[in-house]
């Protein structure tokens, strides 16, 4: 009879431990979800959605939003070094990279469709040069060096793709004048 109270206590302790562990796992999962960053604000995402399948408009919007991020990054570089500044720069650089990668993916689609996006590519190629200057001028700090390096690589990729695509489209539409200005929406 002396063994029964001990067994009951062990089961209660195990049950309590399981509940505590489940709560800790839930909190960790919620924290991980909360930290997932979105590079676009809700209003910006709505604008991109409203642009739908209009390639020139979408590229122009992405260029505008990337310019805004670049200005934020530029503004943060002049602030006094602190943990908060470094964390904010790291976040901005990650968002900047995510947006450039998203734009790169859009350019791939428009390239495959032979959409005439020369109108939006010229400002984009000019902007990528400014963005690269901003990123390269940012002094390296351990807290955001990885994000800075990835942003530079992504900006270089985007700049190269935009220049290549502009040259390809200029040549293509010289030969196919009847297709100039076509945006080739989904389904075409």
Which DSSP string corresponds to the chain? Answer: --HHHHHHHHHHHHHHHHHHHHHHHHHHHHHHHHT---SS-HHHHHHHHHHTT-HHHHHHHHHHHHHHHHHHHHHHHTSPP-HHHHHHHHHHHHHHHHHHHHHHHHHHHHHHHT---HHHHHHHHHHHHHHHHHHHHSPP-TTTHHHHHHHHHHHHHHHHHHHHHHHHHHHHHHH-GGGTT----TT-
- Asked if the structure places residue 16 within a domain, the reply is yes
Same domain membership, residue 104 and residue 28: no
The CATH code of the domain that includes 101 is 1.20.1050
Per residue in 141-185, pLDDT tens? 999 999 999 999 999 999 999 999 999 999 988 887 776 655 544
- Asked if the structure places residue 185 within a domain, the reply is no
10-residue stretch averages of pLDDT, the chain, 188 residues long: 66 68 60 67 92 91 97 92 94 97 94 91 96 93 95 97 94 80 48
Same domain membership, residue 87 and residue 15: no
* Residue 125 domain boundaries: 42-179
Q: Which pLDDT score, from 0 to 100, does residue 138 have?
A: 93
Same domain membership, residue 15 and residue 100: no
Give the global pTM: 0.75
Same domain membership, residue 46 and residue 32: no
């Amino acid at each position: 009879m002396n063994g029964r109270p001990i067994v009951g206590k062990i089961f209660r302790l195990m049950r309590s431990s399981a509940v505590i562990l489940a709560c800790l796992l839930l909190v960790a999962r919620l924290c991980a979800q909360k930290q997932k960053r979105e590079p676009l604000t809700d209003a910006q995402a709505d604008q991109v959605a409203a642009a739908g399948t209009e390639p020139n408009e979408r590229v122009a919007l992405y260029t505008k939003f990337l310019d805004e991020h670049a200005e934020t990054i530029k503004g943060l570089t002049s602030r006094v070094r602190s943990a908060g500044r470094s964390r904010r720069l790291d976040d901005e650089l990650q968002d900047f990279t995510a947006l450039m990668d998203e734009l790169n993916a859009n350019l791939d689609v428009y390239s495959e469709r032979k959409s005439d996006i020369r109108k939006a590519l010229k400002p984009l190629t000019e902007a990528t040069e400014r963005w690269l200057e901003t990123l390269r001028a940012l002094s390296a700090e351990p807290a955001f060096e990885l994000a800075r390096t990835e942003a530079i690589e992504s900006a270089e990729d985007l700049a190269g793709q935009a220049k290549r695509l502009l040259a390809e489209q200029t040549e293509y539409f010289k030969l196919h004048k009847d297709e100039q200005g076509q945006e080739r929406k989904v389904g075409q």
